[in-house]
């Protein structure tokens, strides 16, 4: 990841003129909005898992009869401890440790997806920059045309290298994201069908929304990557290449052919990440949920 950052930094804009051509502000603001939405969503879910046990303890205490009234110290997660967690001091230690672990795991999960979306957004920005330069350039049938085109082709080739490295770094984690989202959808659906406490249901529903939102955001930026990389071939095709030299025209064959195989992110080579895969995820999960519900109704 460090090597990838350094390579991508070499191509980053270094002048105010490049900043305008790269359209940095719009790209980074949009990336920031997506990342903030992920942070807010996961933070709320993290807070729900940590706070709801205390709320449930108070509700159970208030709903119990006066004679049998006893405050039960509930924890966010079921864990075994070598001490009695029903004592106040022990409960504070156990509760604090579980909240800390929840925060750490959420931070790791957030960091992974925010890195991925940021990397893909930068790649999309680079592709948008190349497309802008292609539309802006007017061939004049000179050697300078060939030099200019060779620079763009080198940049284009580097971008495909960046995407390949991004895929190698994040593909396994993306497969887990899709698997976890599918599993969570099925479990929440099963809980709804079987009936459960509304606080637990609300927690699982929040976790479900968080998982789906992560997958949705990544699917959106990956679809944009596919669209942007495909658009490079169209940009070259609609350029005024007929005014260029024969060498220039032959050089155009490579990027146009490369654009026929759009850059993409995969889930460990099993499938390409896109809005189509997100739709397939929802469809497959619904089928599994229907099967679980039918099995539950049959057993009862």
Does position 90 have pLDDT exceeding 90, yes or no? yes
The more confident residue out of 142 and 181 is 142
Q: Say if residue 17's pLDDT is above 90.
A: no
Which of 21, 37, 4 lies closest to 214 in space, CA to CA?
Answer: 37
pLDDT at residue 99 in the model: 93
Contact 163, 225 (CB under 8 A): yes
Which segment of 75-89, 197-211, 241-255, 272-286 scores lowest on mean pLDDT? 197-211
Q: What is the pLDDT of residues 182-206, one digit of tens each?
A: 887 777 767 766 666 777 778 878 8
In this model, does residue 224 exceed pLDDT 90?
yes
Please tell me the number of Cα atoms within 13 Å of 167 on its side-chain side.
19
Q: How many CA atoms lie within 13 A of 17 on its CB side?
A: 1
Q: How much is the CA Rg of the chain, to the nearest whole Å?
A: 26
């Amino acid at each position: 990841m460090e090597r990838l950052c350094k390579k991508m930094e070499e191509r980053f804009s270094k002048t105010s003129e490049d900043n305008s051509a790269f359209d940095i502000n719009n790209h980074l603001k949009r990336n920031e909005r997506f990342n903030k939405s992920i942070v807010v969503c996961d933070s709320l879910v993290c807070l729900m898992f940590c706070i709801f046990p205390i709320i449930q303890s108070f509700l159970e205490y208030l709903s119990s009869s006066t004679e049998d009234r006893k405050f039960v110290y509930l924890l966010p997660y079921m864990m075994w401890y070598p001490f009695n967690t029903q004592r106040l001091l022990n409960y504070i230690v156990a509760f604090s440790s579980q909240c800390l672990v929840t925060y750490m795991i959420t931070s790791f999960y957030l960091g992974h997806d925010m890195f991925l979306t940021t990397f893909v957004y930068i790649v999309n920005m680079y592709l948008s920059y190349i497309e802008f330069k292609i539309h802006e350039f007017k061939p004049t049938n000179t050697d300078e045309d060939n030099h200019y085109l060779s620079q763009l082709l080198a940049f284009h080739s580097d971008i495909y290298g960046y995407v390949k490295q991004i895929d190698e770094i994040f593909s396994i984690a993306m497969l887990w994201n899709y698997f976890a989202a599918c599993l969570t959808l099925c479990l929440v659906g099963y809980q709804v069908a079987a009936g459960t406490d509304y606080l637990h249901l609300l927690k699982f529903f929040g976790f479900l929304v968080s998982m789906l939102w992560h997958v949705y955001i990544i699917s959106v930026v990956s679809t944009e990557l596919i669209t942007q990389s495909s658009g490079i071939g169209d940009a070259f095709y609609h350029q005024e290449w007929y005014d260029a030299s024969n060498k220039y025209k032959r050089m155009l064959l490579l990027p146009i052919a490369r654009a026929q195989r759009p850059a993409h992110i995969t889930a460990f080579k099993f499938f390409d990440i896109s809005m189509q895969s997100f739709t397939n995820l929802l469809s497959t999960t619904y089928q599994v949920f229907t099967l679980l519900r039918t099995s539950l109704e049959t057993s009862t």
